Amino acid sequence: KAGVTQTPRYLIKTRGQQVTLSCSPISGHRSVSWYQQTPGQGLQFLFEYFSETQRNKGNFPGRFSGRQFSNSRSEMNVSTLELGDSALYLCASSSGRGQGAGGNTEAFFGQGTRLTVV
């Protein structure tokens, strides 16, 4: 079974630009979550999608957005990039059974996209 695939692996963007990152979850998984990892702030939750609906959102500005498609693939977009957006962005998928908690199911992580803003 293929794991979680994130593309691209590395990205360099200029301040003020926008960027779109992609995540393909494990086949059959309907929940996709996104995390930002930085040396200073650690791992922070961005948002979670389940069956094309955003189910939960972290404390990030509106410049960070995402969506999920009918095949469960997800994208996240960051507009008007700032230097502080430089980070490793991780995507995780899980079965996330139903509309309930699902918090006891394992989240499988991709290798991440390393975004550098210059």
Q: Work out whether 4 is an interface residue with another protein (CB under 8 A).
A: yes
Query: In which residue are the tokens 């309907």 written?
Result: 30
- Distance CA(97)–CA(101), nearest Å, equals 8
CB of 57 to another protein, least distance (A): 9
Least spacing, CB of residue 16 vs another protein, in Å: 27
Size of the site for another protein (CB under 8 A): 32
Interactions with another protein, residue window 95-114 (CB under 8 A): 96, 99-112, 114
Task: Identify which of residues 79 and 109 has a Cβ nearer to another protein in the complex.
Answer: 109
Q: Which conformational region is residue 22 in: left (phi greater than 0), alpha (psi within -120 to 50 degrees), or beta?
A: beta
Q: What are the start-end ranges of the E strands in the chain?
A: 5-7, 10-13, 19-24, 31-38, 42-50, 53-57, 64-68, 74-78, 87-94, 108-109, 113-117
Burial 108-117 (b: 16+ CB within 10 A, else e): bebebbebeb
Of the residues 13, 55, 67, 73, which one makes contact with another protein according to CB under 8 A: 55
**For another protein, the closer CB: 15 or 57:** 57
Binding positions for another protein, rule: CB under 8 A: 4, 31, 33, 35, 42-45, 48, 50, 55-56, 58, 90, 92, 94, 96, 99-112, 114
